[in-house]
Amino acid sequence: MRSSLEIHDLASGKSRVVLQSDSVIEAPNWAPSGDHLLVNGGGRLFRVPLDAPRLVPLDTGHAMRLNNDHGISPDGKWLAISSHRGRGSEIFVMPAAGGTLRLVSPDSPSWWHGWSPDGKRLAYVAARNERRVIDVYTIGVEGGEETRLTWGEGHCDGPDYSPDGAQIYYNCDRDGHAQIWVMGTDGSGQRKLFADEYVNWFPHPSPCGRHLLYLAYPPGTTGHPADLPVALVLADAQGGNRRRVLEFNGGQGTMNVPNWAPDGSAFAYVRYEAPGR
């Protein structure tokens, strides 16, 4: 599978290729400094400097089975990662430049998805008590007791904080297929932003608060697989004025984590192409 890491500029409506690879790279996360992206591939994490794009391995200690759920803290000092160990994925925090890991999640499996704007809490999804129902949780960045926000109403995934820290966007299939939802950070006021026939995942609000970006799968898609014709849809913060800004082959790995430029002027994503296609 050939991967193309790209950046889409909102003002021009044009995309540019940052880097291409003959291996699978996934889940671009834009550093708050604006000068590099993070991606994962083959269980490892890589920096991609934007002034000289290339895959620069990051030291993640004993975590060598990373999935594509990772992100840099708002102050740029820390990195949250999800890595498989023992019974499943666990969440760790480490220095953004690499170094010593600190376990945060109290149980597994747990998959990180968002930092609160003040850097004090993490939003993630998890399955608990031997059940495979995926729900949304938050926890302090230092660990401790987790707070469960959804309660098995459906498969909930992709939680990401609004830039003012008052809400969490997420996707859930409680009404039949995955749609975009929003709730207070205490789980209150859960509501669906809109309803359509597409299977919608991974909502990411822009840092400026004006936009909401999400991934739309074809109707009837189960889960969030790779290698399908998908669209990236841009909406306002309340889910209105939706427009499909890009359509290509992608899915899993295209934009699983927060992927906006720090000023909200652009976003990063990955498209895929099978050999010979």
Q: What is the pLDDT of residues 236-275, one digit of tens each?
A: 999 999 999 999 999 999 999 999 999 999 999 999 987 6
pLDDT band of residue 277 (cuts 50, 70, 90) is: low
- The parent domain of residue 192 ranges over 2-273
Provide, rounded to the nearest whole percent, the portion of the chain with pLDDT above 70. Answer: 98
**Total number of domains constituting the chain:** 1
Q: C-alpha 212: how far from its chain's center?
A: 13
User: For 74-108, how does the pLDDT look when each residue is reduced to its tens digit (9 = 90+)?
Assistant: 999 999 999 998 779 999 999 999 989 999 999 99
DSSP annotation of 129: T
Find tokens 């790209």 and name the residue. 6
CA gap 92, 232 in Å, rounded: 29
CB 64 within 8 A of CB 41: no
What's the pLDDT at 271? 97
Beta strands in 206-263 (DSSP E): 211-217, 228-236, 243-250
CA gap 245, 232 in Å, rounded: 6
Among the listed residues 21, 27, 50, the one whose alpha carbon sits nearest the alpha carbon of residue 39 = 27
CATH number, domain containing residue 9: 2.120.10.30
Contacts of 12 (CB under 8 A, 6+ apart): none
Q: Which tokens go with 205? A: 């609000």
